[in-house]
Structure 1
Amino acid sequence: MWLATVANRDWPSRAGLTAEQQRTELLRHLDTAVDRRLNTVVLQVRPTADALWPSPYEPWAQYLTGTQGRDPGWDPLGTAVDEAHARGLELHAWFNPYRVANHTDPGRLVAGHPARIHPEWVLPYGGKLYYNPGLPEVRSFVQDAMLDALRRYEIDAVHWDDYFYPYPVAGQVFADDEAYARYGGDFPDKASWRRNNTDLLVSETASRIKEIRKRTAFGVSPFGVWRNIATDPEGSDTRAGVQTYDDLHADTRKWIREGWIDYVIPQLYWNIGLPAADYARLVPWWDAVVRDTGVGLYIGEALYKAGDPAQPAAWQDPRELSRHLDFAAQYPSVGGHCFFSAKEVAADPIGAMTTVVADHYPTRVRPPRR
C-alpha cells in the first residue's frame, strides 16, 4: 500500500501532532499492512521538496509539525525502515522529484530553502511551484537530495509516482522557453527535449542507485496510459485524456525496455468496462510491455474510489477490486497489486479491501526477490 504524507492525506493525520502521536500513528499503519497480509509499504518521504528525515539538502516537511523546517523531534524515515523490517515488510521510499510547493509563493517557503536560494530553478504552473526539469543543475540537485535517504537508510526501493513534467492545465504555459533555448538545440521540438530530460533523470538515478547499494530496487508508478491507440498503434486501446508520453513527457515504456527501472506499478485506477480506460484492456497491454524484460509488474489499484458516491456504479460494489485481482491473475507478468492508499486500507468503507484479502490473500507472502 501507498502511505501518502502530502497534505496529510494518510499520515500524520494532521500537522502538529507530538512526536509520540506521530510515531504511534505510523506504527498503526504498518500493523494494518500486516493485518491485511500485505508485504510492502510505499512511504512518501519527500512530498514537496522537503524531507521526512534529517536531510542536509532540504528542510523538514511541513506536514509533520505544521511548519516547514521545524525538527519534529524524531526520525520518521529511520523509524519506518526499522519498524517495517521488524514486521517482515519492505519499506519503499517514495519521492516526488520536481514538486516544490502546492502554492506559487516562494516567500512561503522556509528561509534557506533551495528554491529560495535558486529562484532561477523554479517555475509556477497550475497554482503550484515546480523545479524546472530542463536545467542540468536541477536534475543533479534533486538526485542528490533523494539519494541522501538511500545512503543513510536500508530502504528496499527508491519509488517515484506519476509526476514528472506537470499534468496539463488548460490555458497555462510551463514557461521553460529559456532552458529550451539554452539546452534544446539538438532536438526537433520541445516535447522531444522534455522527454529526454525525463529520460536523463531516470537513467542517471538508476545508475546512482546501483552504485550506492546494488540490491536496492528502483520503481516507478506512472499514470496508467502510455499512449492511446489513436495516437500510436502501439498504444493501449484507450481514449484517456492524458497520455504520459505526450503530456507528462515520460516515456515509461522506454524505461522498461532499457532496463532502467526494476519494477513498474501503472496506476490502473479505472473499473472493468470503463469505455475510455478499461482496466481489462490495460492489464494485458502492460503485461505485454514487461514480458521478457526482467522488470517487475504490479498493478496500482484505486481502493480510494470504492464506495465514493462520486464514482461510477462499479465502484459502489465491494467486489470490484477483487474482480480486478481475478482478472490480472490470468496474466503471468503481473506479480501483485498496490493499493492507494493507507487510509482506505485501514478504514475500508464498503469492505472492498476486506473482500480482496478474503478472496486472494489467505496468507502473507514474502516480497519478491530481485
Structure 2
Amino acid sequence: MLKGIAAKSIIFLSIIFMLIVPVYALNNVGKTDMAKESYNEISADGNIQNNNSQKKELRAIWVATIYGLDYPSKEAIKDVSLLKKEMIEIIDNVEEMGFNTIYFQVRPAADAFYSSKIFPWSKYLTGDQTISPQDNFDPLEFIVKQGHERNIEVHAWINPYRITMQKSDLDELAPNHPALLHPEWVVAHGSGDNTKHYFNPGIPEVEQMILEGVSEIIENYNVDGIHLDDYFYPGTNFNDHDTYAKYGSKYDNIGDWRRSNINSLIEKMYHLIKAKDENLSFGVSPFAIWANKSSNPLGSDTKGKEAYYTMYADTRGWVKAGYLDYIIPQIYWNIGYEIADYEKLLNWWADVVADTDVDLYVGQAAYRAGNPDPNSPWYGINQIKDQVDLNRRTNNVKGYVMFRYKSLLGKPELVNLMKYLNRLVL
C-alpha cells in the first residue's frame, strides 16, 4: 500500500512540476539554466514539441543606423573606442537574448557604414560625409567578425534609392556623392523642409550603380547576405514622367513601367549575388500588404496601403518568380486589427510561399509592445508572445525578425520574453 501511495505521490508531483515550470521559465528567464531540450518539451500550447529535427528557426533583429536609431550614439560619432564598445554591447545583448541573425543597416541614405568607392561615409557614423572614421575603423567589418565569433549571422541591409531624409540634408552631401556627380539621377519628393531626395529607379545607370554597390559589399566583406527594406517608390506622385516618356514606351501605363523597374533590380540583384556566392542569402522586408482583395482577387482580406499600387513593389511576384531566398513582410499590426489583421496576413503570406523555395519570416513590431494604455492590444508583452506562438503553429513560417534593437532594450519585460521565446527552439 505504501508503494502505491508513493507512486501516486510521484505522479502528482510530476503533474505539478509540468504546470509550474513554463510559468517559472517565462518569469525567471536569465535566472535558470533550464536545458533547451526542456523548453522544447514544455513550449507554449505544446506546439513546438521535439522541434530539434526541424530546420533551424530564424530569430533575427534589425539594427538601424538611420538617425543613429540603434547605432551609434551621438557621443560615439567621433570616438572609435566608443564605436567599438557600443558595437560589442549590441552583439553581446543580441547573443544573450538568443537571436541568431542581425540585419545591420549599412547604407541608410546613400551613405555607407563600410569603406566604399561609390558612396561616401555616412554622416550618422562620422558626423560628416567627408570624414573617415578614426584609425580606419570599419563598422561592417567589425560587426561581421564579432557576430561570427558568436555564431550570429550578419546580413548587410541597404536602402537602394533614398538619398536624403529632409531638404537640408542635400547641402551636407560630400562632393563625390553620386547624387551630386549625377544630379540628373535625382528626384525630389515631398514639400518644404520634408522634401526627400531619391535616385530615380527608371534610369538604367541608377540600377547599375546599385548593383555595383552590392558587388562591392560582397567582394570586400564576409557578410551572410544582402537585405533590402520596404522603401522603393515613395508614392504615386513621384516626379518621373520625363523618364517614363524616355524609357517606358512599351508599357501601357506608368504604374506597369515603375513595377518593371523594381522587378528588374530585384531579379538582377538575385542573380548577381548567386553568381558571386550561391551560399549568400538575398531577401526583402516589404510592406506587408501586397494588394487588398478589393483591388485584386489574389490579394489579402485587408483595407490598407498596397505595395503593388503605391510603392510599385510586386512582392508576391518576386516570390512566385523565385527572385528571393526569403521574404519578411512587415506585419506591424495586432491580431484582430480590422484594417490589417496579423493572422489573416500571416496566413496569406504562408499561402504565397507554399510550393516555392522562398522562406517566409515575419517582421514584427517590437517597438509597439509595452503601450501604457491597458485597453491597447499592445499593452504589455502578450501581443508579441501570441504572434510568435501563432507563427510557430502556421505552416511555412520559418522565423521572425524584431524591429528593432533599442525598442527591445528599453523594455526589460520584453527582453525577458525574447530570451524565453528564442530558447523554445534550438
Maintained 8 Å contact 1:269/1:301:
yes
Q: Is the CA contact (8 Å cut-off) linking 1:236 and 1:282 kept in structure 2?
A: yes
Which whole-Å CA distance do the structure 2 matches of 1:118 and 1:2 have between them? 31
Whether 1:317 and 2:380 are equivalent positions in the alignment is yes
TM-score (norm 2): 0.81
- TM-score, normalised to structure 1, is 0.93
Counterpart residue number, 1:5: 65
Match of 1:107 among 158, 166, 171: 171
Contact persistence 1:157–1:216 (CA under 8 A): yes
- Identity over aligned residues, as a percent? 38
Task: Tell me what 2:109 maps to.
Answer: 48
Matches within 5 A, 1:122-271: 122-126=186-190, 127-167=195-235, 173-240=237-304, 242-271=305-334
Counterpart among 358, 365, 368 of residue 295 in structure 1: 358
* 1:43/1:91 contact within 8 Å kept: yes
Deviation at 1:344, TM superposition (A): 1.9
Cα distance in structure 2, aligned partners of 1:284 and 1:209? 29
Aligned length: 358
1:348 equivalent to 2:411? Answer: yes
In the aligned structure 1, how far is the partner of 2:71 from the partner of 2:122? 12
Question: Which of 366, 369, 372 lines up with 1:306 in the alignment?
Answer: 369
Structure 2 contact 95–150 (Cα < 8 Å) conserved: yes
What is the CA-CA distance between 1:40 and the residue it aligns to? 0.1
Take 2:307 and 2:375, find their aligned partners in 1: how far apart are those partners? 24
1:357 correspondence with 2:419: yes
Aligned Cα root-mean-square deviation (Å): 1.6
Residue 364 of structure 1: how far off its partner (Å) = 6.9
CA distance in 2 between partners of 1:66 and 1:281 (Å): 43
- Displacement after TM superposition at 1:331 (Å): 1.3
Deviation at 1:263, TM superposition (A): 0.4
Please state whether the residue corresponding to 1:186 is helix, strand or coil.
coil
Secondary structure (helix, strand or coil) at the match of 2:271 reads helix
Q: Which deviates more, 307-316 or 337-346? A: 307-316
Deviates more, 1:10-19 or 1:127-136: 10-19
More helix by share: 2
Q: Which has the larger radius of gyration?
A: 2
Q: Is the aligned partner of 1:97 residue 2:157?
A: no
Deviations 1:278-329 (A, max 9, x none): 1011100000000110111110000001124589701113111000011111
Q: Does the 8 Å contact 1:303/1:353 carry over to 2?
A: no
Question: Which is further off, 67-76 or 87-96?
Answer: 67-76
Gaps of 5+ in 1: 366-370
Given that 1:37 and 1:364 are in contact with CA atoms closer than 8 Å, whether structure 2 keeps it comes out as no
| Structure 2 residue 118 is matched with structure 1 residue 57 | yes
Tell me the equivalent position of 2:47: none
Partner of 1:368: none
Give the drift of 1:103. Answer: 2.0
CA distance in 1, matches of 2:250, 2:196: 30
Please say if residues 96 and 419 of structure 2, whose CA atoms lie closer than 8 Å, have aligned partners that are also in contact.
no
Q: What is the Cα deviation at residue 45 of structure 1?
A: 0.2
Contact 1:267 1:299 in 2 (8 A): yes
Comparing 98-107 with 197-206, which one deviates more in the overlay? 98-107
SS of 2:361's partner is strand
Between the aligned partners of 1:118 and 1:135, the Cα distance in structure 2 is 11
In structure 1, C-alpha distance between the alignment counterparts of 2:361 and 2:83, rounded to whole Å: 29
